[in-house]
């Protein structure tokens, strides 16, 4: 059994200068492809259930799916709730077998964010589950604008909440389709100078692969969330598979055909974070 918590995989990453992929899942086929990719690269992987995934599939189903994949994998696999917005949602994830929960209070005031996140951290720890919080709102491509993380607020947030990982806003945005995010190296340095918590970049699809590797080697960033890049790969794989056999109508066969390309896409992402063999 290789089911792991977020702390299990991020502590070694931070110590040894690499990052772990938080790969956003939307179904069985892509989750299975991500685990296959991690095994091929000899790397840990974080399977993430975001709001879009949860709107389609209930948390108890996702928890059982992630745990099944983890228990049969040869590498550490984390079952992670991404962008939980309520205490109840985080509680349901824990009860459903998730080993890590992320509470997103970045739209709240600093004091409200600290209070809410602290309560969820305590709840998670009682069940042996890791926690991630967010300080500084990370915006969306062609949508809400990011609000950069204030280093002193980050220090206070990390100290008072005792999160296992902290997502920060340093020029990264969600749903970015091109690799042209301009991250603020000075802000990253300022944040890591006042806290020793592993740092997380949401919207990692927009960060150029070479920059991911550099940041993994040289900063406290040891988790990149990747969703858009993988969804784009799935869309292309699906179109390609349908073009090959235009008469195919079996849902299982259609989706199975996307797995090899999804596995290769995930392997490339994992390699971009300069992961060593585990």
Which pLDDT belongs to residue 180? 65
Kindly indicate the confidence band of residue 176, based on its pLDDT and cuts at 50, 70 and 90.
low
Stronger pLDDT, 173 or 41, i.e. the higher one: 41
The Cα diameter of the chain in Å comes to: 59
pLDDT of residue 147: 78
Mean pLDDT of 162-168: 97
Provide the pLDDT confidence category of residue 177 given band limits of 50, 70 and 90: low
Q: Domain residue spans in the chain?
A: 3-272
* Per-state percent for the chain, helix, strand, coil, to nearest 5: 50, 15, 35
Active-site position among 8, 30, 82, 245:
82
DSSP assignment of 127-149: TT-EEEEEES---BTTSSPP-PP
Whether the predicted pLDDT of 278 surpasses 80: no
Q: How many angstroms separate the Cα of 77 from the Cα of each of 68, 233, 259, 265?
A: 10, 22, 18, 18
Could you count the other beta carbons within 10 Å of the beta carbon of residue 276?
Answer: 12
* Half-sphere exposure (Cβ direction) of 153: Cα atoms closer than 13 Å: 21
Across residues 267-277, what is the average pLDDT?
Answer: 78
Is it the case that residue 221 has pLDDT exceeding 90?
yes
Residue 275 — very low, low, confident or very high, per pLDDT cuts 50/70/90?
Answer: low
Q: Are 140 and 174 in contact (CB under 8 A)?
A: yes
Lowest mean pLDDT among 97-106, 111-120, 232-241: 232-241
Looking at every residue in the chain, the average pLDDT score rounds to 91
Q: Is 82 a catalytic residue?
A: yes
Confidence band for 84, pLDDT divided at 50, 70 and 90: very high
- E strand map for 15-150: 20-24, 45-49, 77-84, 100-103, 130-135
Of 116-125, 199-208, 221-230, the one with minimum mean pLDDT is 199-208
* pLDDT cut 70: percent of the chain above it: 95
pTM above 0.75, yes or no: yes
The pLDDT of residue 265: 94
**pLDDT category, 140, cuts 50, 70, 90?**
confident
Q: Specify the CATH number for 3-272; select among 1.10.3720.10, 3.40.50.170, 2.60.120.310, 3.20.20.70.
A: 3.20.20.70
How many other CB atoms sit within 10 Å of the CB of residue 152? Answer: 11
**What is the per-residue pLDDT for 138?**
77
8 A C-beta contact, residue 6 and residue 207? no
**Average pLDDT, integer, range 151-168:** 97
Q: Where residue 277 falls among pLDDT bands split at 50, 70, 90?
A: very low
Which of 256 and 46 is assigned the larger pLDDT? Answer: 46
């Amino acid at each position: 059994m290789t089911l792991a918590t977020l702390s299990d995989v991020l502590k070694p990453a931070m110590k040894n200068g690499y990052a772990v992929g938080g790969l956003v899942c939307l179904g069985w086929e892509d989750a299975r492809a991500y685990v296959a990719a991690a095994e091929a690269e000899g790397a840990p992987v974080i399977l993430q259930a975001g709001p879009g995934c949860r709107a389609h599939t209930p948390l108890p189903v996702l928890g059982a799916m992630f745990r099944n994949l983890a228990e049969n994998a040869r590498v550490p696999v984390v079952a992670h709730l991404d962008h939980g917005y309520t205490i109840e949602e985080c509680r349901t994830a824990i009860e459903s077998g998730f080993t890590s929960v992320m509470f997103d209070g970045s739209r709240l005031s600093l004091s409200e964010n600290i209070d809410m996140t602290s309560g969820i951290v305590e709840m998670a720890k009682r069940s042996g589950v890791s926690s991630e919080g967010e300080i500084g709102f990370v915006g969306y491509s062609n949508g809400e604008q990011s609000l950069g993380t204030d280093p002193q607020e980050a220090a206070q947030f990390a100290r008072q909440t005792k999160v296992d990982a902290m997502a920060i806003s340093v020029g990264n945005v969600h749903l970015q389709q091109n690799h042209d995010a301009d991250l603020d190296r000075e802000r990253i340095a300022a944040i890591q100078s006042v806290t020793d918590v592993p740092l997380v970049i949401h919207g990692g699809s927009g960060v150029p692969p070479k920059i991911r590797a550099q940041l993994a080697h040289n900063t406290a960033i040891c988790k990149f969330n990747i969703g858009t890049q993988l969804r784009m790969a799935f869309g292309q794989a699906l179109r390609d598979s349908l073009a090959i056999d235009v008469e195919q109508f079996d849902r299982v066969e259609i989706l199975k055909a996307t797995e090899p390309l999804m596995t290769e896409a995930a392997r490339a992402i994992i390699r971009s974070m300069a992961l060593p063999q585990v």
